[in-house]
């Protein structure tokens, strides 16, 4: 559907807001790859499949790597669940195949079934501190967080640890209702170098896609984490 024909006034305003105000707001700019990675993660978080399908080819044309996109989608399973992640994997594969990108992409896995827990604990400790070295012993969910969430996904190459914390922040901010975890991961972001100003830029660039309420909640969580 050509929304320029059916909804020209809306398209004019939303395009101006995203392209002229948000993208170019002084002090809130991000490089294209970072901005697109954050926005695509936010779209996964808010279940914006239609906009994701439109934006992914633009992001790839702007230089965001297929590996980075796939790693974002894979990691989203921990924060969205398989039921909400699956449509984004399908859309991503369909678009990449149409563009002639050979699938599967090169493996980014660095753990196996024997060391995923150990390396997952190491990743948790690197982000949140040495107290995480014992946190996995608190119960089976905590063990799953260590071996599955962090051991299976955070340890993978293709994205840096800082990028992985950024997309996690976007998943949580965009879906809403996860403010305790959002505060925790805002702190985790700061621990790996994504400071308050950077996170504010991320929220600013994602705002058109997730709306004002969730953006304002995310800002409150950033400020809480920075205290």
* Concatenated DSSP letters of 141-186: HHHHIIIIIIIIIIT-SSS-HHHHHHHHHHHHHHH-S-HHHHHHHH
Average pLDDT over residues 98-112: 97
Q: Name the pLDDT band for 201 (thresholds 50, 70, 90).
A: very high
Domain-by-domain residue ranges, the chain? 111-155
Tell me the per-residue pLDDT of 61-77, one tens digit each, with 9 for 90 and over: 999 999 999 999 999 99
Tell me the per-residue pLDDT of 202-218, one tens digit each, with 9 for 90 and over: 999 999 999 999 999 99
b/e per residue 78-110 (b: at least 16 CB within 10 A): bbbeeebbeebbebbeebbeeeeeeeeeeeeee
Q: Name the pLDDT band for 1 (thresholds 50, 70, 90).
A: confident
Tell me the per-residue pLDDT of 116-132, one tens digit each, with 9 for 90 and over: 999 999 999 999 999 99
Tell me the per-residue pLDDT of 75-102, one tens digit each, with 9 for 90 and over: 999 999 999 999 999 999 999 999 999 9
pLDDT of residue 140: 97
Percent of the chain exceeding pLDDT 70 equals 100
């Amino acid at each position: 559907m050509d929304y320029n024909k059916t909804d020209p006034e809306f398209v004019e305003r939303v395009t101006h807001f995203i392209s002229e105000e948000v993208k170019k707001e002084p002090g809130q700019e991000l490089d294209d790859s970072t901005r697109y990675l954050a926005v695509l993660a936010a779209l996964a978080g808010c279940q914006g499949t239609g906009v994701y399908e439109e934006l992914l080819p633009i992001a790839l044309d702007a230089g965001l790597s297929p590996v980075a996109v796939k790693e974002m989608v894979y990691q989203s399973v921990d924060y969205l669940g398989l039921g909400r992640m699956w449509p984004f994997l399908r859309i991503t594969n369909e678009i990449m195949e149409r563009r002639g990108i050979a699938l599967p992409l090169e493996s980014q896995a660095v753990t196996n079934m024997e060391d995923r827990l150990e390396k997952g604990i190491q990743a948790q400790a690197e982000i949140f501190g040495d107290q995480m070295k014992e946190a996995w012993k608190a119960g089976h969910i905590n063990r799953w967080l260590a071996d599955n969430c962090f051991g299976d996904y955070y340890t993978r190459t293709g994205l840096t640890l800082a990028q992985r914390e950024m997309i996690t922040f976007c998943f949580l901010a965009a879906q809403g209702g996860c403010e305790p975890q959002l505060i925790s991961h805002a702190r985790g972001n700061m621990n790996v170098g994504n400071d308050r100003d950077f996170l504010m830029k991320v929220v600013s660039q994602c705002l058109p896609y997730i709306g004002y309420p969730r953006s304002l909640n995310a800002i409150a969580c950033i400020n809480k984490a920075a205290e």
